Amino acid sequence: MNKIFVVLLGVLLVIVVSIFSYNSYSQAQQQKRLADIAAQVDNQPVYSTVEMKFPADDRIITLKGVLEFPNIKRCTQVMQSKTSMFDEPCAGSDCASLEVISTCVSYVDAKYKDMLNKKPMQTTYAHVINAKFPDEKAAMAMLGLSSEEAKLLCQEFISDKTTDEIDECI
């Protein structure tokens, strides 16, 4: 009877070790797959879109912007540091309303991608590249303006640039 007990104990031990080894191997595989997915996500461009509206004479002027970042980590870092900009108090009838439409998302409308790729549009827009981080770029369309007004506003916008930007009107 002792022999059978020792054999059963040995078989049980082999089964336990086999299950443990299989689970460890499966966990390692799963962790590797998750790391691969995270690396892919981390290397994919992400976008944030904003819209600003402000009254001017008898119309509303709308500025629509899109920002492209090289990865989710950089986007989150920048957008979190800009939250105070989005929360600035404003008073009076000349007050602009700023709305963050999407933050750090992997999909953006084709028209925004076209603007980021400097394709001509029906309206004038500003294209900006961050000189310190060339993988970061932005585009801002000016709606509610005549073609001439949009060009003038765009020129004004890019003439007020900092050394960290490479701007142009398209």
Q: What is the pLDDT of residues 65-88, one digit of tens each?
A: 899 999 988 888 888 876 544 455
Mean pLDDT of 27-42: 58
Mean pLDDT of 120-140: 88
Q: How many domains does the chain have?
A: 2
Provide the 10 A C-beta neighbour count for residue 43. 10
User: For all residues of the chain together, what is the average pLDDT?
Assistant: 75
Question: Does 14 share its domain with 89?
Answer: no
How many H helices and E strands in the chain?
5, 6
Question: Does 7 share its domain with 31?
Answer: yes
Of residues 8 and 105, more confidence is placed in 105
Report the amino acid identity of residue 19.
I
Bridge partners of residue 166, in order along the sequence: 129
Mean pLDDT of 95-99: 67
Q: Residue 131 pLDDT more than 60?
A: yes
Place of tokens 């003038």: 152
DSSP secondary structure string for all residues of 138-167: EEEEEESS-HHHHHHHHHHHHHT--TTEEE
Question: In what helix (H) or strand (E) does residue 11 lie, and over which residues does it extend?
Answer: helix 2-42
Question: Does 37 share its domain with 92?
Answer: no
Note the pLDDT of residue 68.
93
Mean pLDDT of 143-151: 90
Of residues 169 and 92, more confidence is placed in 169
Q: Residue 117 pLDDT more than 60?
A: yes
| pLDDT classification of 115: cutoffs 50, 70, 90 | very high
Question: Does 85 share its domain with 125?
Answer: yes
Residue-level length of the chain: 170
Question: Does 159 share its domain with 118?
Answer: yes
